[in-house]
Structure 1
Amino acid sequence: MTDPNSLSVRDLAEAIRSGTLRAPEVTAATLDRIARVNPALNAIVQDCSSDALAEAEALDARIRAGDQPGALAGVPVTIKVIADQTGYATTNGTTLARDLIATSDSPFLRHMRAEGAIVVGRTNCPAFSYRWFSSNAQHGTTVNPHNAALTPGGSSGGAGSATAAGLGHIAHGTDIAGSIRYPAYACGVQGLRPTPGRVPAFNQSGGDRPIGPQLMAVAGPLARRVDDLRLGLAAMSGYAPEDPLSTPAPLSGPALPRRVALVRRPGGIEPDPRILADLDRAADLLRRDGWQVEEPDSLPDLREAFDLQIDLWLADGHAEKLAAAQLEGDAGALALLNFYADRAARWDSAALSHALLRRSGLIRAWRAFLADTPLVLMPVCAELPFRQDEDLDGPEAIARLWQAQLPQVAIPLLGLPALAVSSGVENGIPSGVQLVAPPWREDHALDAGEVLERGFGIPQVVDPA
């Protein structure tokens, strides 16, 4: 049988719909690879093999009966353990929630299943999804398949590792501060943070989220190909009554000016020389494709957006977050929350009001900028992927790592979609660049991302280093 990983999502689904490949065979091949490769990675931490095989057999029977399944017909996908999936624990990487069994699917997953996707496993994250590293007491540590000394990223580190290792074509991730984009960057794959409201998400098992996550957290896809992201986004998206922000916005819009702002040092950070070289390579690829790339004289503020995002996520409700982390006893969660404890102590209703007012002003400024130049090319991170568990080295390390992540952390507050595109792997170290587009214009970022992918190369499936 053709190796499923040799095919794009589009080609794989078409082969299954046409009968050239059968869903049970594709699912079995993927599960076989998971059984061989995942023990070295611990990317998938909840086994869905029995359900996956049964779903693939049912899909195959429908196809043979003449039904036409959707765009993800028989495509193997993974789901992060932060999301409800019927019959599985929504642990969010904690022992506290190990028995929190979902009785329904999160709406994005319901949409993916309606398009024929087959869930082959559930992927790891750090406890409470707080860190840039994916390790916890409930599921253990996830390894970067390119280099075990490096983090696979967080919080969707299991998703990034699984995608790079060919343990599913599309991985679900979540992103409130870079948790899709950073694992994609660290694992050498592609990752898309959609516009808030694009992909509906709600966990019946956990109920409603605080104000910061409601405004800034999104679900979205990771994949090895940009076009796979496009199909994954389409399958996840759509209106769902459970999510108050869900919006049935069109997936594409009128052609936008092909003008790009190249921003090498957003917020005053100083990227690694290799990252600066990647940005220059990306700019050259876009120019050769007819895009107009210029370095702007000024840019709306990102550093204030970075600071406000941290407050709305970590300072708001800090005491409850800290109490839960203490009960869990997770070193990484405690290190982060203790680092921001003094800042959180100054957080009150006046600070919340100020943050929401300033957020409106920053969003307005960025939308005005993107109206004229509707794509920004900038780093994903100022540093190459961090050393595994580097945030446990003390407060100075946490401060440095979070400052390096400013290009990712600032974007959620602004309500903008952003795409991490792999620029390749050198000496076992992945890198990449980030594209930021206007709200609801993921299609524009994906179009540019495909240009970069053609130049950088499609990430290849990797076996653990």
Structure 2
Amino acid sequence: MKLTAMEIASRVRDGRLTASEVIDSHLDRIASVNPKVNAVTVTLESQARSAAAALDERIAAGEEPGPLAGVPITVKENIDLTWSATTSGLPFAAGNVPASNSSVVDRLLAAGAIPVGRGNMPDIGLRWDTDNDLFGRTVNPWDPARVPGGSSGGDAVAVATGMAAAGIGNDYGGSLRLPAHAAGIVALRPSAGRVPAPSKSVELLPLSIQHMAVNGPLARSVADLDLLFGVMHGADDFDPLSVSVPHYSSYDGVRRVAVTVDPAGWGVDPQVALAVRDAASALADAGWEVEEVAPPAVDRCAILWRQLSSTENAPMLLTPGVFPGPLSEGTVQYFQDNIAEVSLLDTSAAYQGAWAERFVHAAAWRAFHARYPVVLGPVITQPVPLIGFDLSGPEACTELWKSHRLLVTANFLGLPAVAVPTGMGGSRPSGVQVIARQNGEHIALAAARDIEAAFPAVTPVDPA
């Protein structure tokens, strides 16, 4: 359970380990640890053991096992995997077993990965915490009083505690990077369109989800993110927004970093600021040219992300009879409190104007990235919040959104970003994120590797 995905795949490929041994050890780890953290909603015991045995037979027969040979993964509850229901954390969807895997899952299975469980999430993934009425709360393994982040919190905690070598989640407003940061692991939010949708089924989705939400990997090393993304990316016949762009294994371009300690100048916790400056020093030591300079219009990007996501999603979720079933009280309260301090785009001119303004800011960031290929900043500007903070009123919802402003800026612009730990900040992990230009995943991963190399790994962790 301590081996990375690359280490597992290498050892399974050359016979030092069998896939069955790997899967058995991780299933044992789930049985031991998951009762303490409730990160894995469904343990896929029989299917995983069958898949491992079949892979071992293929290897014994001299067949190519794939780049992820025997790697145990979790799959978030809103990504289609025919081995169990796709519930999105909703009780009324408990029997919603998909007719086919998502294309992402098909690619991972073909590469030799083996799902061992499903990762918990909040109702339909639209909350920065991980709790729902179907499976209950996922526990932060570092501090049970604090949230594990969301919405891919179950997968992040499963990886951080050694129940899986990698997790597959998605990110609409930081939902990969935030829980990775809280758990002390790494995550990649790919560029918009680089990884296909979580289902092959055609759905009526708001424009903001279509253009700002992406599937991506969580792991315990940046090299694993690179490996997983190399399998996951590419256009898909079922997703009209997906694209095929070459993924490079290295980056030999301009090594210049824009450091933003306090994005938009809205305030930053001293411990968070220290983590950003420590990461900047690590990049400077690795040969990057580092400048403390603000990227353009983080304030407007964050405001527009909130306006668009609230305008499109809140009416659907809060209007009786529109959504196909009940949501948890926590999710309803969060959305009610959230929209209380949002200027909704309630005319067609305002809504169209927001999307038009997005183009202006995307162009400004494109020009900025031409000089600074990497933007380094906080994942969130305040400590990981205590449980219940997001349900303590409209002002708290606004404060939480402000602390996530650099997270949602990457979503708003469709940019790739990597969350990477910087050791421990007291009793909890600290970390940063690096944001690259569109389709510059290899650039963000290169910077993240150099940050990672400067700090000791803090996972896997045994929860209290």
TM-score normalised by the chain length of structure 1: 0.95
Q: State how far apart, in whole Å, the 2-side matches of 1:211 and 1:314 are.
A: 12
Cα deviation code 1:300-337 (max 9, x no counterpart): 10111112112222211532221367952422221232
Tell me: CA distance 1:381–1:341, structure 2 relative to 1, closer, same or farther (3 Å).
closer
Q: State how far apart, in whole Å, the 1-side matches of 2:299 and 2:389 are.
A: 23
8 Å Cα contact 1:132/1:154 also seen in 2: yes
Residue of structure 1 equivalent to 2:336: 338
8 Å Cα contact 1:302/1:410 also seen in 2: yes
Equivalent residues in 2 for 1:255-266 (5 A)? 255-266=252-263
Residue of structure 1 equivalent to 2:152: 156
8 Å Cα contact 1:384/1:430 also seen in 2: no
Q: State how far apart, in whole Å, the 1-side matches of 2:291 and 2:200 are.
A: 46
1:286 Cα offset (Å): 0.8
Q: State how far apart, in whole Å, the 2-side matches of 1:279 and 1:144 are.
A: 23
Is 1:315 aligned to 2:315, yes or no? no
Is 1:91 aligned to 2:87, yes or no? yes
- Between 1:338-347 and 1:436-445, the stretch displaced more is 338-347
Instruction: Give the aligned residue type for 1:272.
Output: D
Residue of structure 2 equivalent to 1:218: 214
Match for residue 97 of structure 2 among 95, 101, 121: 101
Equivalent residues in 2 for 1:18-37 (5 A)? 18-37=14-33
Q: State how far apart, in whole Å, the 1-side matches of 2:219 and 2:85 are.
A: 24
Instruction: Give the aligned residue type for 1:97.
Output: A
1:415 Cα offset (Å): 1.3
SS of 2:355 mapped into structure 1: helix
8 Å Cα contact 1:133/1:389 also seen in 2: no
Match for residue 40 of structure 1 among 36, 50, 61: 36
Q: State how far apart, in whole Å, the 2-side matches of 1:142 and 1:18 are.
A: 36
Is 1:131 aligned to 2:130, yes or no? no
8 Å Cα contact 2:103/2:200 also seen in 1: no
Is 1:251 aligned to 2:230, yes or no? no
Instruction: Give the aligned residue type for 1:459.
Output: V
Instruction: Give the aligned residue type for 2:329.
Output: A
Unaligned 5+ runs, structure 2: none
Residue of structure 1 equivalent to 2:449: 450
8 Å Cα contact 1:331/1:392 also seen in 2: no
8 Å Cα contact 1:332/1:391 also seen in 2: no
SS of 1:141 mapped into structure 2: coil
8 Å Cα contact 1:224/1:459 also seen in 2: no
Residue of structure 1 equivalent to 2:292: 295
8 Å Cα contact 2:334/2:397 also seen in 1: yes
Identical-residue share of aligned pairs (%): 40
- Between 1:205-214 and 1:42-51, the stretch displaced more is 205-214
Is 1:197 aligned to 2:196, yes or no? no
8 Å Cα contact 2:142/2:428 also seen in 1: yes
Residue of structure 2 equivalent to 1:389: 388
Q: State how far apart, in whole Å, the 2-side matches of 1:131 and 1:121 are.
A: 22
Q: State how far apart, in whole Å, the 1-side matches of 2:452 and 2:431 are.
A: 11
1:204 Cα offset (Å): 3.9
SS of 2:170 mapped into structure 1: strand
Q: State how far apart, in whole Å, the 2-side matches of 1:229 and 1:186 are.
A: 17
1:289 Cα offset (Å): 1.0
Residue of structure 2 equivalent to 1:279: 276
Match for residue 207 of structure 1 among 175, 199, 203: 203
SS of 2:238 mapped into structure 1: coil
Residue of structure 2 equivalent to 1:174: 170
Instruction: Give the aligned residue type for 2:210.
Output: Q
Q: State how far apart, in whole Å, the 2-side matches of 1:317 and 1:427 are.
A: 37
Is 1:60 aligned to 2:64, yes or no? no
8 Å Cα contact 2:423/2:456 also seen in 1: yes
Aligned residues: 460
8 Å Cα contact 1:76/1:118 also seen in 2: yes
Q: State how far apart, in whole Å, the 1-side matches of 2:284 and 2:260 are.
A: 15
1:178 Cα offset (Å): 0.2
Q: State how far apart, in whole Å, the 2-side matches of 1:317 and 1:160 are.
A: 25
Q: State how far apart, in whole Å, the 1-side matches of 2:324 and 2:402 are.
A: 25
Unaligned 5+ runs, structure 1: none
Tell me: CA distance 1:129–1:440, structure 2 relative to 1, closer, same or farther (3 Å).
same
8 Å Cα contact 1:385/1:429 also seen in 2: no
Tell me: CA distance 1:299–1:426, structure 2 relative to 1, closer, same or farther (3 Å).
closer
Cα deviation code 1:216-250 (max 9, x no counterpart): 00000111111111111112112211111211111
Instruction: Give the aligned residue type for 2:461.
Output: V
Instruction: Give the aligned residue type for 1:30.
Output: H
Residue of structure 2 equivalent to 1:424: 423
8 Å Cα contact 1:75/1:169 also seen in 2: yes
Q: State how far apart, in whole Å, the 2-side matches of 1:132 and 1:142 are.
A: 12
1:344 Cα offset (Å): 6.5
Q: State how far apart, in whole Å, the 1-side matches of 2:144 and 2:251 are.
A: 44
SS of 2:235 mapped into structure 1: coil
Q: State how far apart, in whole Å, the 2-side matches of 1:412 and 1:210 are.
A: 14
Residue of structure 1 equivalent to 2:264: 267
1:205 Cα offset (Å): 5.2
- Between 1:309-318 and 1:12-21, the stretch displaced more is 309-318
- Between 1:328-337 and 1:354-363, the stretch displaced more is 328-337
SS of 2:74 mapped into structure 1: strand
1:131 Cα offset (Å): 1.1
Q: State how far apart, in whole Å, the 2-side matches of 1:407 and 1:104 are.
A: 35
